[in-house]
Amino acid sequence: MNSVSLGGSTTKRRSRRGGMSRNAGSDVKAAYLFIAPAVIGFLVFVGYPLIRSFYLALTKYNGLTDPVFVGLGNFRRLFTTDPAFWPALRATGYLVLLYVPLSLILGLALAMFCNQRFAGVRIVRTLAYLPVVLPAVATITLWKFMLDPQVGLLNTILDRLGLPTSLWLQGPSTAMPSVVLVMLWGVGGTMIIFLAALQSVPTELYEAARVDGAGPWSVFFRITLPMISPIVLLQVILQTTAALQTFNQPKILTGGGPGFSTNVLMLSIYNNGFPTLGRIPQLGYASAQVWVLFIIIIAVIALTAKFSSLWTYSDSTSD
């Protein structure tokens, strides 16, 4: 068996070598040329910064004078004396736990609604996706005005209806949920991917379920969800990664406050690297924080992927 197999493979190898002999050189060159922009781009914009930031994480560097090597000093300060680091981790974790499930549930619900056949469905889809294409800074700023506890639209409406108002972004306990509320405004992006997944589920499965007398919940949990579970996994990874790197919303809406309640890691990194006018940048320290965030992201993705087989459906016959 082995010899046949080996012999066969040798024959194939020979024939391939023979076939490639005329064009092999130019094909390889062309291949390298095609991948060169991506490789150069990766090396310049990812590879070098990656190495550089790791080096800077081991230095005291303010951007004004040469870096001074401090070993693991930045990490030691991060984990032992920095009063902002653990609250930043907590705020980031809270945001992920709040945002990821809500964005998935809301995105999927919207997608299922938009997957129905009714008059004006295209308009509904467009409206649901519209916030994604609007300039983020403009919409976030608008939300900030709407959430103002004193003159904001939301409290004005609540007040007119005789309902209790909220401090929204200015309350230590309501600030993060308010930030997540604004983030969910862009859930149309999640919806559109779910919509594509829903439309790829074979209709025969639904027809068969209907014939068997399955109800809507049964259809959802036994057909829809398993069939789109690989996309759900993709969304979990994408949304978690994005949530861990949230910056725009807390930066514009709260500046990280009140206290440290919305001071997520990315904002903390930015504030240390690019502090307000008059403060000296701590680029080495910020780089150390970046590496902590990087490791957290890798760990979360690895864990999600590891346990994904428990809940994602894969068609073993598809190979």
Partner 1 sequence: MTALACAGLLTATACSGGGSDSGGSSGGPVTVTVMTWESAETNAAIKKALADFKDDNITVQLLDTPAGNFGDKLASLTQAKKLPDLFWCGNDTEQQYTSQGLLVDWADKIKNADGDFTADKFVPSAMENWKTADGQMGGLPSLMNTYGVWYNADAFTAAGLPLPKAGWTWDEMYADAAKLAGKNGAKYGLVADQLTSADGPFTMSMYSVSAGGAPFTDNVNHPTKAEADEKYTEGVEKLVAAIKNGSVAPPGYDAANVQSLFSAGKVPMTFGGQWLAAGFQTDKPKIKYGFAPFPQVQTPTTIADSVGICTPQYTKDQDATFKVLEYINTKVWDAVLPASPVAPPAYTPAQTSYFDALTKAQQTTVVDTVKADLAAEKTVGNRFTTQWAQQVGDLTTANYQPILSGKKPISDLPAYIDKINGLIKQGG
Chosen residue from 186, 189, 250, 273 binding partner 1 by CB under 8 A: 273
Closest CA to 236 of 133, 305, 306, 309: 305
Burial 63-75 (b: 16+ CB within 10 A, else e): eeeebeebeebbb
Could you say whether residue 170 binds partner 1 (CB under 8 A)?
A: yes
Q: In 23-48, which positions are buried (b, 16+ CB within 10 angstroms) versus exposed (e)?
A: eeeeeeeeeeeeeeeeeeeeeeeeee
Nearest of 91, 122, 129, 133 to residue 247 by alpha carbon: 91
Task: Indicate whether 48 belongs to the interface with partner 1 (CB under 8 A).
Answer: yes
Sequence-ordered list of residues with C-beta below 8 angstroms from that of 282, at least 6 positions apart, any chain: 61, 62, 272, 273, 275
Q: Which is nearer to partner 1, 115 or 282 (CB)?
A: 282
Residues in contact with partner 1, shown as a per-residue x/- string from 210 to 239 under the rule CB under 8 A: ------------------------------
Ranges within 275-304 binding partner 1 (CB under 8 A): 275-283, 286-287, 290-291, 293-294, 297
Minimal CA–CA distance to 290: which of 54, 15, 40, 107? Answer: 54
For partner 1, the closer of residues 108 and 292 by Cβ is: 292
Binding range to partner 1, per CB under 8 A, among 94-102, 120-128, 170-178, 304-312: 170-178
Question: Quick check: 274 binds partner 1 (CB under 8 A)?
Answer: yes
Q: For the chain, first and last CA: distance in Å?
A: 24
| Cross-strand pairs, 60 | 68
> Using CB under 8 A, which residues numbered 194 to 213 contact partner 1?
none
Our CB check for partner 1 shows the closer of 214 and 297 to be: 297
| CB of 14 vs partner 1, minimal distance in Å | 42
Least distance in angstroms from the C-beta of 72 to partner 1: 17
Q: How far is the CB of 163 from partner 1 (least distance, A)?
A: 17
Would you count residue 113 as binding partner 1 (CB under 8 A)?
A: no
313 binds partner 1 per the rule CB under 8 A: no
DSSP category for residue 275: P
CA–CA distance, 203 with 20 (Å, rounded to integer): 45
Residue of 112, 307, 309 whose CA lies nearest to 219: 112
How many chain residues bind partner 1 (CB under 8 A)? Answer: 56
Out of 93, 131, 177, 258, name the contact with partner 1 by CB under 8 A: 258
Which residue, 61, 80, 19, is CA-closest to 287? Answer: 61
The footprint of partner 1 (CB under 8 A) covers 45-46, 48-53, 56, 61-65, 82-84, 87, 148-151, 169-172, 175, 245, 254, 257-261, 266, 269, 271-283, 286-287, 290-291, 293-294, 297
